[in-house]
Amino acid sequence: MTRLIFAFVPVALASATLFCTIDAGADILPPGHKGAKASIQVSGEPPQDSVFVLANTFDGTTTLEPGKPSPVNWHPLQGDLELVLVKRADLKQFEDLSREKDERWKTIRQYSTSCSKGFAGVRAIKVTEPYDEVRWYYEVNVDGDKCTSKLARTAYLAKGEEVRSEPSAPSATSKPSAAPSALPPGTDVSSPPNKSAASGGCSGCATSRSKPSAAWLFAPLLLLWRKRRKSRA
């Protein structure tokens, strides 16, 4: 039995290391990339009893004030973001949104009107880029029970100051990934978001070094196994 236990140690150690690597991998920045901030600013006048809201952020929803930028806290595992119109009286329905994607979107759909197609946020950009923040400017229009919007422009900022209006190497994709595009597609028609991955993630990019490895749990057994081998030799 003792031999069986010590024979199992290397296998368990390798499995634990692999598990931790996979678990942390979702938040590891791709090679040649750095973490980035994101923000959004909308223009347009919502009805007196309603507000513009950015749905499916990391915190659930973010209420937007026209003419003022708002930070976007987002994780790619949560799926796409979307602009919606919400009655002020219904804002309380979004205070504790489910982390389960189907339940979350069921609540959002029930208490809001879509103003845009789904679009990916941003968490990482190339290290060669001179900016550290991406800001989207959306023009939103409400006509009766219909809400539409279009992406007016995308700005790139460094320490809060705009450095240019276009990135050096834009990437056109809205598929959630470790480093999604900083250019969400604009739209003037309402549409539900694409199917998204399950909610989850952290509020900031992490690396494998930010998580304790379960492999250390097996370190004493490994040392004992090596000692017994040396003593027999």
In the sheet with 50-57, reading across from the earlier edge strand, the strands are 60-64, 50-57, 82-87, 113-114
CA 139 to chain centre: 23
Q: Which residue has the higher pLDDT, 81 or 1?
A: 81
CA distance 190 to 50: 17
Q: Which of 4-13, 122-131, 221-230 has the highest mean pLDDT?
A: 122-131
Instruction: Give the closest residue to 169 by CA, choosing from 25, 33, 8, 41.
Output: 33
Q: At what angle do helices 219-232 and 2-25 cross, to 10 degrees?
A: 140
pLDDT of residue 78: 82
Angle at 65 between CA 61 and CA 70, to 5 degrees: 60
Instruction: Judge whether residue 50 has pLDDT over 90.
Output: yes
Contact partners, residue 197, CB within 8 Å, separation at least 6: 76, 77, 78, 79, 101, 176
- Tell me what percent of the residues of the chain surpass a pLDDT of 90: 53
Least confident stretch, 13-17, 77-81, 97-101, 123-127:
13-17
Least confident stretch, 31-40, 125-134, 221-230:
221-230
Instruction: Judge whether residue 177 has pLDDT over 90.
Output: no
Q: Phi and psi for 20 in degrees, rounded to 5?
A: -65, -35
pLDDT of residue 29: 85
Band of residue 228 on the pLDDT scale cut at 50, 70, 90: low
Average pLDDT, the chain: 74
Contact partners, residue 18, CB within 8 Å, separation at least 6: none
Contact 171, 134 (CB under 8 A): no
Contact 156, 167 (CB under 8 A): yes
pLDDT of residue 200: 37
Q: For 76-86, what is the mean pLDDT?
A: 93
Instruction: Judge whether residue 24 has pLDDT over 70.
Output: no
Instruction: Judge whether residue 46 has pLDDT over 60.
Output: yes
Classify residue 81 as left (phi > 0), alpha (psi -120 to 50) or beta: beta
Q: Phi and psi for 11 in degrees, rounded to 5?
A: -65, -45
Contact partners, residue 179, CB within 8 Å, separation at least 6: 29, 30, 33, 123, 124, 125
CA distance 116 to 53: 11
Instruction: Judge whether residue 101 has pLDDT over 60.
Output: yes
pLDDT of residue 164: 74
Q: Which residue has the higher pLDDT, 197 or 11?
A: 11
